[in-house]
């Protein structure tokens, strides 16, 4: 894994660690799901709220399965990076895992089901991970390189693949979860 790839993964881990205690646990994902439901105005206990929670918890299940921590209550940064190394090393995983998850995440982001992710849909998702609006807008600008105001499914899948695999500092997919350069500086 290169320094750039590692910086993106450290950033991603920190984004997912909702309560900032240095480990990923089920509660981090529950908190993200509840925040997303709240931002979208879904009522507590409604079917839409339950669906969002199930989708976000799938990310938790997948992360544990692939880092060999099935049944464990916590994932450390070390586990996370070992899991990502497997993804980078394996073309099979890239297709089944990255693309599989990306499709599910796309459907979750596309709240109004019109087949594209609008800036508003992206920002609500970004903010559910405690991201601030300014960084979210910057990230969306990078991802929406044709300046259309939305992301197609194809563009989103490409961005997710770049986020995981690319070692190009200019790859737009690097921005999927916002600015990541801080981790790059601190890791060198």
Contact criterion met (CB below 8 Å) for 93 and 86: yes
Token reading at 153: 């499914």
Stretch that binds Ca ion, among 26-34, 48-56, 66-74, 165-173 (CB under 5 A): 26-34
56/15 Cα distance (integer angstroms): 13
126/118 Cα distance (integer angstroms): 12
Report the run of H or E that residue 92 belongs to, with start and end.
helix 91-93
Contact criterion met (CB below 8 Å) for 178 and 15: yes
* Residue 168 within binding range of Ca ion, rule CB under 5 A: no
x/- string (CB under 5 A) for Ca ion, residues 54-93?
----------------------------------------
Task: Report the residue from 14, 17, 32, 106 that binds Ca ion according to the rule CB under 5 A.
Answer: 17
* Residue 158 within binding range of Ca ion, rule CB under 5 A: no
CB-count burial class (<10 Å; 0-12, 13-18, 19+) for 137: middle
x/- string (CB under 5 A) for Ca ion, residues 94-113?
----------------x-x-
Task: Report the residue from 2, 19, 133, 141 that binds Ca ion according to the rule CB under 5 A.
Answer: 19
* Residue 183 within binding range of Ca ion, rule CB under 5 A: no
**Residues near Ca ion, by CB under 5 A:** 17, 19, 21, 28, 110, 112, 114
């Amino acid at each position: 894994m290169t320094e750039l790839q590692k910086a993106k993964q450290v950033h991603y881990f920190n984004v997912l660690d909702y309560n900032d205690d240095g480990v990923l646990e089920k509660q981090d994902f529950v908190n993200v799901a509840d925040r997303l439901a709240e931002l979208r105005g879904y009522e507590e206990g409604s079917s839409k709220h339950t669906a969002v929670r199930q989708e976000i918890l799938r990310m938790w299940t997948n992360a544990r399965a692939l880092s060999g921590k099935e049944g464990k209550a916590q994932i450390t940064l070390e586990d996370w990076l070992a899991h990502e190394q497997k993804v980078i090393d394996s073309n099979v995983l890239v297709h089944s895992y990255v693309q599989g998850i990306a499709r599910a995440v796309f459907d979750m982001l596309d709240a109004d089901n019109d087949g594209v992710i609008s800036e508003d849909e992206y920002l609500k998702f970004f903010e559910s991970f405690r991201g601030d609006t300014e960084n979210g807008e910057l990230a969306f600008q990078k991802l929406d390189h044709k300046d259309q105001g939305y992301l197609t499914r194809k563009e989103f899948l490409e961005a997710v693949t770049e986020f995981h695999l690319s070692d190009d500092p200019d790859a737009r997919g690097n921005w999927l979860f916002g600015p990541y350069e801080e981790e790059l500086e601190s890791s060198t």
